Structure 1
Amino acid sequence: MSYLLLRTLTKKQEVDSIIRDTIDKVLVLRFGRSPDQACLLLDDVLAKSAREVSKFASIALVDIDSEDIQVYIKYFDISLIPSTVFFFNAHHMKMDSGTADHTKWVGVFRQKQDFIDVVEAIFRGAMKGKLIVNCPLPPDRIPKYQLLYKDI
């Protein structure tokens, strides 16, 4: 239940505002459903890491069942949950983790340190002006998934 410490966003205006107002920190947005088992595992990792990354990152949860959020679901092509999207100074940060999709992290971080390492790598890259960074985790700790394409 430690995920209750994290802010949950249910309106497009809330997401717009947090993206726009988070300055000089990595913004971590977890898209998912709170009752989903995988989301609960990820939320636990995020909540346990929140204090340790608080100097260089902010974390928020986005409820994908909210009607108002659907514009972001379509924009980021959130078809698998949980999906985690990163921003820095209102710029979408991408990460090359060896998967087909660099725009988001799909799945659960296996341990707290994995999440901290990823956020720190994004922060360091963003401070150097990069919009895409390499994933610092070894390939065996990166979740594997199959991309599904609609209407093909």
Structure 2
Amino acid sequence: MSELLTTLSKKIEVDTIIRDTFDKVVVLRFGRASDLTCLQQDHILSKAARDVSKFATVALVDVDSEDIQVYIKYFDITLIPSTVFFFNAHHMKMDYGTADHTKWIGAFLSKQDFIDVVEAIFRGAMKGKLIVNSPLPPERIPKFQILYKDV
């Protein structure tokens, strides 16, 4: 399924899609094609890509690419898949009721959950907001225990 979505493996490709996409949400899934949870996420993203195409562009980013590591560090991507959102070159954040508002961690439970999140980001962005509240109930948001080593 992920072959239906564009895969980016160079920093310039990521820079370009973020910088040159106007009035649409840019959805970047950071992960690897060999990971089971990434495959689940890719399946949902590819099924929904057409439905959100009027207001969003979806692409996959290969976390193993050496050229992408600047983004991995910047967005602190330690768990995959991690999905990051942009609108008119601005990083869009969403309050999921978790400590991290910068990205969605894990796979969406359904195609509709993904569509609802992207639509909420788009509507908020059109109103000039850089952070929006999640439209999903807490039980539909994956929970991860983040363990800090050597703190």
Q: CA deviation at 1:11?
A: 0.4
Mapping of 1:1-152 within 5 angstroms? 2-152=1-151
Q: Distance in 2 between matches of 1:136 and 1:13?
A: 32
Taking every aligned residue pair, what percent have the same amino acid on both sides? 77
Unmatched runs of 5 consecutive residues or more in structure 1? none
Q: Distance in 2 between matches of 1:26 and 1:63?
A: 19
Alignment deviations for residues 74-130 of structure 1 (CA, whole Å, 9 cap, x no partner): 000000000000000000000000011000000110000000000000000000000
One-letter code aligned to 1:148: L
- Compute the TM-score of the two structures, normalised by the length of structure 1: 0.98
- Compute the TM-score of the two structures, normalised by the length of structure 2: 0.98
Q: Which runs of 4+ in 1 moved over 3 A?
A: 148-151
How much is the aligned-residue C-alpha RMSD, in angstroms?
0.7
Q: Distance in 2 between matches of 1:31 and 1:118?
A: 17
Q: CA deviation at 1:150?
A: 4.8
